[in-house]
Amino acid sequence: DSSKVAAEWKDDGGEIKPEEVRQHPDDKELYNFQALKDKYGETQSPEELEATWRQRMKPQWVVHEEERALAVAWKDDGGDIRAEETRQHPDDKACYTFEQLKEKFGEQLKAEEMEPFWREKMRPQWVVDALARPPAPEAQQAPSKSSPAAAWKDDGGPINADEKRKHPEDGQFYSFEELK
């Protein structure tokens, strides 16, 4: 699950890649390390900048995966409808405020149908955007080198007659006798 990979992400302490972009937690802007130094270098020491980069800033792909996880789980909270909020109509894919929705579709939907339609069928633009973004390649979890399954190798010892192993081509499990 890519959201789990993103949630477990930690800076590895390795060399800072000049092309990597991370989101600053205070201003929510994206910076590479040089841009961070350019913006905050007058007020923070090199050590403070590196600590900010490694401990407080998240790579753009992690931020996107976190947004994606929130979007998947999003449900209207039933609170007051904010006048400035826009949501995407499921049919024409245009975004409307609640007032614009009433103006445009007031003839097609009864007054008592309008709010349930807004809350159940329409999604905020940030949800639409987050779900449209494909998962980041970095979030595709490869098998861990430290997992027992990834580290397993046949020891060359005697064959256990009860043991079954997965065939790499058909994915079925067979004993040694069944394969002979």
pLDDT tens-place values along the chain, 180 residues long: 666 777 888 999 999 999 999 999 999 999 999 999 999 999 999 999 999 999 999 999 999 999 999 999 999 999 999 999 999 999 999 999 999 999 999 999 998 999 999 999 999 999 999 999 888 778 765 444 444 444 556 667 788 777 777 777 777 777 788 877
Q: What is the DSSP string of the chain?
A: -HHHHHHT----S-PPPTT--EE-TTT--EE-HHHHHHHHTTTS-HHHHHHIIIII-EEHHHHHHHHHHHHHH------PPPTT--EE-TTT--EE-HHHHHHHHTTTS-HHHHHHHHHHH-EEHHHHHHHHSPPPGGGSPPPPTTSHHHH------PPPTT-EEE-TTT--EEEHHHH-
Position 152 scores a pLDDT of: 59
Position 1 scores a pLDDT of: 64
Position 141 scores a pLDDT of: 56
Position 121 scores a pLDDT of: 96
**Whole-prediction pTM value?**
0.64
